[in-house]
Structure formats: structure tokens, C-alpha cells
Structure 1
Amino acid sequence: MSPIGAAVPSRAVVASMGLDSPCARNDIIECNVRYVMFHMIQETARHTGHADIIRETLDGSTGV
């Protein structure tokens, strides 16, 4: 499954739950959907930053 294809079912799961709903895998970590979504935003930002560093290394330009 492509990353874009994986986003569709993930969005459906999140849309069907409240942000304060407990996570399904409470044997791993006790948290709620809000925590998972916040973590995903952080991870996306971190990886976007990594990609930006690589791009700047390759083309020499920097962000504004």
C-alpha cells in the first residue's frame, strides 16, 4: 500500500473517533487519539525538515 493509500483508511478511523478516545493498543502505550495525532504532526514536521536540509545541500538555496 502506498503512503497516500494508507492515509485514506487512517483518516476514516480518526474521523470516526473523538480526540479523547483511548488508543486501541493500550498494551503498548496508554494514550488517546489526540496524542497520536499530535505525534504524527511532530513526525511529519521533523521529516519535512530533514528533506529541506537535503534539498539545501543539493541546490545550495536556503529558505526565506
Structure 2
Amino acid sequence: AGSIVAKVVRDAIMEQLDALYPEYGFAAHKGYATRQHLDAIGRYGPSPVHRMSFAPMNRRLQCSMDFTDA
């Protein structure tokens, strides 16, 4: 039962984030990386709510640091 409650809460949060940041399609993917979501991150950069510890975000951060360190 706890996992169902957690999913419902997470889905509600993702819907709220979608209203704030519609370009990322949070309501459509509910927190899982989809091709469209990753494309939006590439196009718009990370939103303030993206976790930088998430592997695709961490890779982007490392790549941008490589360019700025040169």
C-alpha cells in the first residue's frame, strides 16, 4: 500500500512541475527519462528541479566542465 501512495504523490508532484516547466513534459513521463525529456534538457538545459546526481545530468555537467576548464 505504501508504494501505491508514494506513486500517487509522485505523480501529483510531476503534474505540478509540468505546470511550472511545461517544456520538459513532466506530466507525460512522471519522472522517468524519455527521449523527449532528454531532448528537452538538451534544448533548454536543466530546470531548477532536475537532480544533478541523475546520470544524464551528471554527464552533461561533466562535459560542460571539460569545456570551461580548457
TM-score (norm 1): 0.33
More helix by share: 2
> If the length of structure 2 is used for normalisation, what is the TM-score?
0.31
